[in-house]
Every structure is written in C-alpha cells, then in structure tokens.
Amino acid sequence: MRSSKERIAIISLGCARNLVDSELIIGKLKSKGFIIAEDADSSDIVIINTCGFIADAKQEAIDIILKAVSLKNEKRIKKLIVCGCLAQRYSEQLKNDIPEIDAILGVDDFKVISKAISAILRNEKFIAVDAPVAIHSDKDPRLILTPSYYAYVKIAEGCQNHCSYCAIYNIRGRLRSRTLSSVISEIKTLSSGKSKSELNIIAQDTTSYGIDRYGKCMLPKLLKRICRLEPAHWIRLLYTHPRRFTDELIDVIASEASICKYIDLPIQHINNKILTKMNRRIKRKAIEKLIKKIRSRIPNVALRTSVIVGFPSETEGNFNELLDFIKAVQFERLGAFIYSREEGTPAYGFKGQIARKIKDRRLDELMCLQQDVSKEINARFQGRKMEALVESRSEKGIYTGRTQYDAPEVDGTVFIHSKKSLAPGQFVDVEITDTLEYDLVGKTL
C-alpha cells in the first residue's frame, strides 16, 4: 500500500504494555510511508490506543475520544481511529454511541492498521475486533515513543492467572510468550550503535514468561542472556507475580550487576480470605516468606507493591490487617487502587460489594500511612552517595532524575543540583542532601 500525504498522530493511554502496542502501530505506518505527527492538532488522522482495564481508565479514554470527535466536527482532523483495550471490550457500544469513529480495532491492531487506514481513506468504516491471538516479533517495525535513552521490551502477551477481579484475560486473551530468540533479536536492534541507559522488561506477568511455549518459566534464562548482551546500564524487571517468584530468579537478580535491585511484586492484599476470593493462589505466609527471602538475598533491594482496597466482602478487620502489614513490611514503593467492579469478571457477581465512600476512605487512609512509611525510608538516604539517571532540566542548575529504585512514570524523582551541564540519559553520582515524602534532593559529586 502506498500512502498519501495524510499526517497521523497517536494518543497512547494506559500502561507501558499499551505503549509498546502504540510503538508497533506507528512503526508499521511509518514503514508504509506515512508521516507521523507529534500531536493531534497537527494531524489528519488521530489514533487513540485506549485502556479499558478499570473504571477510571475507561472514563479517561471516553473523555479523550470525545475531545477528538470535537476536533473532527470542527474539521481540524479528518479521521478518527479507536483501538486497544477499550475497543476490544466495548466495540459495539463505541460503534453505536460514537458514530464519528471511523475505525475500531482490537488489541491485535498493529497487524491490521494499514488495512484500516486504506479503508477510511476510501470513506469506508472499518471494524476489526477479533479474539486476540497475535504476539509481535522482532521483525515487526517499531518506532520508540519513550525518550531515546530508555525503552520497554514486552516479552509476552495475555495472561493465564485468572484473578477474579481482572478483565485482562477477557481483553488480551491467553498467555502468549515470545521466543527467546525474538526477544534477544529485538534487544540487539534497540541497542544497536549505542546501548540504552535503561531497558524495562514487561508483560502482564513476567514471571509466567515461557510457560506456554517452553513448559516452564524461562525468565531467569532470558535475563541471563540479556545481561550477556550488555544492552543497557540498567535492566529493570516489572510486573512479577509472587506465586512464581522462584529462588532461581532471586539468584539472577542478586548476581547480575546490571539488573536493578528493584522488584515490582504486586501482592494485591494480605488477608487470606480476600486473597482466596481474588484467586491469587498464594497465602499470607508464603508472601511473608518470599519477602524475607528477597531482602536477605538481595542486599539494598527496593520492593514495590500494588494493593487493592474495597474488594467485595473486605471487612474493616481485613483492611486493618492490610494496613498493619504495610506498616510492618515497609515497602519502599507502593501503589494502591480502589476495587473496580468489572463486567465479565467473577468478582463482578460477588456478594458484599463495598460502597464507594468506604473505598475512598480506605484508600485515603492507606495512602496516608504509606506517605509516612515512604518519608521514613527516604530519610535513610540522607548523606548517601547514589547513582542517578538524568532525565531533564527543571531549571537552571537543577535537573530531575531517577535512582535504580525508581521505575519510569510511576515512582519518585531525584532533584539534582549540578554546576556542570547534564544530558538526558547520563548517569551521575549524587550525594543526597535532603529527603521528601516520595522524592530525594542531591548534588553531583
């Protein structure tokens, strides 16, 4: 297909996994000769790659779609494509309720985006929302949308955990791991010419990688092979499941210098009754044992977790048990979410749904606790020397950056005072001179 002169912009919503999908979509279109615009106002065609995981994400997607519809009605853009998770999940509703949308694609959208563009340029509607079966490979063109010094590497698609609250299986389908050779080849391409400062390894559950394809978890082997390539100064592992966090994986993280001593370990809750109803297939005792093992075998490790408040039938006692656990364990990083009742999930029909005002109050109480925990943890860094990755300049002589204990977009910042000019992607040694609730302040050495 030969492109016309239409300029195409993409708006990527949701998580890093969705961002990789957006990079594949734009990479495909660029390879076909289309002009890629930086923002919607300077484009002819707008693609919105949506998130549809929880209520807040769905509302954000709808709001942005309606803003794009306004641009179309004002004739500031010509065509509108909606794809991704929301489109996969609610294609019929989108088609009926927002007829201004020209094309609706599911989560395998990068495979058919060229056909969709061809159709809408002929003023034809295009809808392709099939059961997800695809997984990208190193052969698929990809245009990186993150800053040049870091990138995400998605090693698998879909999920096999079937947590009772989660709609991901319904949206993204079964677990589909990429081959080891495909992942390694893509990383070689990403780091060709010059190594990245940081590579972030992602999937819906990275600790499930390889089970479907090789009959066992291949994440430790994959990480070893990645480290041998030396593709980045930092290699960060995200989205692990405590049930599959093995001794072998702990050993690899502990022994490989380039792997960040940062573990993203969503526990979701700690009460055994709630964990069972969530279908997490792990109990409190095993979680406690794992955390103790990780901290004893990986010196100076930072643990990040995610928890859900207001799950059906969560009592005040269950919630207080979670608070006590968080206070005792002192996770270095924590994200908390209000339970979102999602159609098509087992938990949607559970008895004991919690009122929104109670969920809001529990979230506020938990985050206030974590703020105190984080402030106490950060205070321990006062006077320490740490390596930081420079990201941007906030004002003259002051830069923002991250330590290995902070993942892009979701964690804290180091405010770096430097008399010398610093560049994004550069690593510098800093002395921590002040600490805040979630951020650090330092000066270059």
In this structure, the answer to whether residues 50 and 184 fall within a common structural domain is: no
Q: Are residues 255 and 218 in the same domain?
A: yes
Q: Which amino acid is at 11?
A: I
Is 134 inside a domain boundary? no
Name the pLDDT band for 4 (thresholds 50, 70, 90). Answer: low
305 and 408 assigned to the same domain: no
Q: What tens digit of pLDDT does each residue of 293-333 get?
A: 999 999 999 999 999 999 999 999 999 999 999 999 999 99
**Domain membership of residue 417 as a residue range:** 385-444
140 within a domain of the structure (yes/no): no
Find the mean pLDDT for residues 264-275.
Answer: 98
Any domain includes 403: yes
349, pLDDT greater than 80:
yes
d(CA 42, CA 28): 20
Asked whether residue 2 carries a pLDDT value surpassing 80, the answer given is no
Looking at the fold, whether 102 and 19 belong to one and the same domain comes out as yes
Q: Domain check: are 162 and 209 in the same one?
A: yes
The CATH number that applies at residue 282 is 3.80.30.20
Taking the whole predicted model, whether its pTM rises above 0.85 is answered as yes
Domain-located, residue 346: yes
Q: Is residue 143 part of a domain?
A: no
In a domain, 139, yes or no: no
Domain shared by 245 and 305, yes or no: yes
Mean pLDDT within 401-416: 95
Task: Please tell me whether residues 85 and 119 are part of one structural domain.
Answer: yes
Instruction: Identify whether residues 26 and 114 lie together within a single domain.
Output: yes
Does one domain contain both 22 and 73? Answer: yes
Task: Name which residue leads in pLDDT, 59 or 5.
Answer: 59
End-of-domain residue from the set 356, 379, 402: 379
Q: Which of 6-10, 282-286, 313-317 has the lowest mean pLDDT?
A: 6-10
CB 437 within 8 A of CB 375: yes
pLDDT value of position 60: 94
CB under 8 A, 24+ apart: contacts of 188-192: 188/229, 188/231, 189/138, 190/144, 190/151, 190/153, 190/231, 191/229, 191/231, 191/232
Instruction: Specify whether the backbone of 210 is left (phi greater than 0), alpha (psi in -120 to 50) or beta.
Output: left
Picking from 76, 74, 114, 82, the residue whose alpha carbon sits closest to that of residue 101 is: 82
Residue 142 in any domain: the answer is no
Residue 372 pLDDT: 95
In this prediction, residue 153 carries a pLDDT of 98
Judge whether 137 lies within some domain. no
Instruction: Give yes or no for residue 282 having a pLDDT over 90.
Output: yes
Average pLDDT, the chain: 94
CATH number, domain containing residue 107:
3.40.50.12160
- DSSP three-state, residue 3: coil
Tell whether the torsion through CA atoms of 187, 107, 240 and 356 is positive or negative: positive
What integer pLDDT is reported at residue 122 of this predicted model?
93
371-395, pLDDT tens digit by residue?
Answer: 999 999 999 999 999 999 999 988 8
Q: For residue 440, give the CATH number of its domain.
A: 2.40.50.140
Residue 193 structure tokens: 């010419």
Residues in the chain: 445
> Mean per-residue pLDDT for 99-115?
91
Residue 1 has pLDDT above 80, yes or no: no
Decide if pLDDT at 426 tops 80.
yes
pLDDT at 154 over 80: yes
Of the three residues 379, 395, 423, the one that is the final residue of a domain is: 379
Query: Of 360, 379, 398, which residue constitutes the final position of a domain?
Result: 379
Taking a C-beta distance cutoff of 8 angstroms, is the pair 385, 445 a contact?
Answer: yes
Same domain, 408 and 371: no
Closest CA to 303 of 323, 271, 274, 328: 328
* 100 phi and psi angles, rounded to 5 deg: -70, -15
| Same-domain pairing of 170 and 234 | yes
Q: Is the pLDDT of residue 26 over 90?
A: yes
393 and 340 in a single domain? The answer is: no
Per-residue pLDDT tens over the stretch 162-195: 999 999 999 999 999 999 999 999 999 998 878 8
Which residues make beta-bridge pairs with 263? Answer: 303
Number of domains in the chain: 3
The letter for the amino acid at 369 is L
Does an H or E element contain 92, and which? helix 91-97
Please say whether the beta carbons of 263 and 297 come within 8 A. no
